[in-house]
């Protein structure tokens, strides 16, 4: 009579390989190591990208700032040259105005002096002609007196002398009247000649115009470059520490569950130790 088979006992080698502590510990350590490595690699890559982005940003910021100041210095040198030129042109324009004013003054002085000479000549000629007429009248009067005296000396008296005297008187009055008329015309001619001389003086002076300096606009001074308005790059977020911790917790939980299933008396453990159960 055959005996019923007893419980199956695993051998020493299969027992060692099926120890839940060894298997689950190795798997847990491997998973944890992989998660830590992945987290550190992701964090290092994020840090590298952020560092590259910051470096590029500050390089571009510095290059733009230096270029702005180079352009400002170039514009400032150009402004200094233009401002110096404008100042020189203004001084030149002012010199032209002063020279023209001085020349106009000299022309006015010369024209006034010439006008004075002309008026003196007119006055001299007027009085010269007046004196000539006066002398002529006086000569006529003296001649009449001389003729009357000769008549008296020759023995002519009475009506003859009186008539002769009246004749000379009429001739004197006629000459005196003509002289007065001539004097009026002479005075009028002198006034007209004086006015003409004054007009000529004014025309000679007015021909020289004052010089008006041309307006020259000031160059616009360049403004210093304003600070660059730039926004630094936003750092890229690295791997989530919370997610990393949660992942570690899930791995630990999965390992604990698997370890519990592998304990003696558990369904999974019975299947592993007794496949025919």
DSSP letters, the chain, are -PPPP------HHHHHHT-HHHHHHHHHHHHHHHHHHHHHHHHHHHHHHHHHHHHHHHHHHHHHHHHHHHHHHHHHHHHHHHHHHHHHHHHHHHHHHHHHHHHHHHHHHHHHHHHHHHHHHHHHHHHHHHHHHHHHHHHHHHHHHHHHHHHHHTT--THHHHHHHHHHHHHHHHHHHHHHHHHHHHHHHHHHHHHHHHHHHHHHHHTSPPPPPPP-PPPPPPPPPPPP---PPPPPP---HHHHHHHHHHHHHHHHHHHHHTSTTSHHHHHHH-TT-
Where are the chain's structural domains? 42-214, 239-277
Best-predicted range by mean pLDDT (37-41, 101-105, 227-231) = 101-105
pLDDT exceeding 90 applies to what percent of the chain? Answer: 23
List the one residue out of 116, 89, 99 whose CA is nearest residue 201: 116
Q: Evaluate whether 253 touches 246 at the Cβ level (below 8 Å).
A: no
Q: Which residue has the tokens 């060894």?
A: 22
Range in 69-73, 98-102, 181-185, 259-263 the model is least confident about: 259-263
pLDDT tens for residues 90-136? 999 999 999 999 999 999 999 999 999 999 998 888 888 888 877 87
Best-predicted range by mean pLDDT (21-30, 49-58, 82-91, 248-257) = 82-91
At 237 the pLDDT is 75
Q: What is the pTM of this model?
A: 0.49
Mean pLDDT taken over the chain: 76
At 84 the pLDDT is 94
Q: Which residue has the tokens 């120890």?
A: 19
29-33 own/partner pairs: CB under 8 Å, 24+ apart? 31/251, 31/255, 32/248, 32/251
State yes or no: pLDDT of 89 exceeds 90.
yes
Higher pLDDT, 107 or 273: 107
State yes or no: pLDDT of 3 exceeds 90.
no
């Amino acid at each position: 009579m055959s005996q019923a088979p007893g419980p199956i006992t695993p051998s020493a080698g299969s027992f060692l390989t099926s120890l839940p502590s060894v298997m689950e510990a190795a798997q847990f350590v491997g998973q944890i190591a992989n998660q830590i490595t992945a987290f550190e690699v992701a964090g290092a890559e994020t840090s590298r990208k952020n560092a590259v982005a910051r470096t590029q940003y500050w390089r571009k910021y510095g290059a733009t700032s230096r270029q702005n100041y180079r352009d400002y210095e170039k514009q400032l040198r150009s402004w200094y040259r233009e401002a110096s030129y404008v100042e020189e042109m203004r001084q030149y324009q002012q010199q032209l105005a002063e020279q023209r004013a001085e020349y106009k003054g000299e022309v006015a002085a010369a024209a006034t002096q010439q006008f004075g000479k002309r008026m003196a000549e007119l006055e001299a000629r007027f009085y010269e002609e007046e004196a000539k007429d006066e002398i002529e009248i006086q000569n006529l009067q003296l001649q009449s007196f001389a003729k009357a005296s000769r008549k008296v000396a020759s023995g002519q008296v009475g009506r003859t002398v009186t008539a002769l005297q009246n004749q000379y008187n009429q001739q004197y009055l006629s000459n005196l009247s003509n002289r007065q008329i001539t004097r009026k015309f002479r005075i009028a001619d002198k006034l007209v000649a004086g006015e003409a001389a004054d007009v000529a003086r004014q025309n000679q002076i007015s021909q020289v115009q004052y010089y008006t300096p041309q307006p020259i606009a000031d160059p616009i001074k360049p403004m210093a470059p304003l600070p660059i308005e730039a926004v630094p790059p936003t750092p890229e977020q690295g791997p989530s520490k919370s997610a990393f911790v949660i992942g570690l917790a899930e791995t630990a939980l999965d390992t604990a569950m698997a370890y519990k299933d592998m304990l003696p008396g558990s369904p999974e453990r019975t299947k592993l130790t007794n496949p025919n159960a």
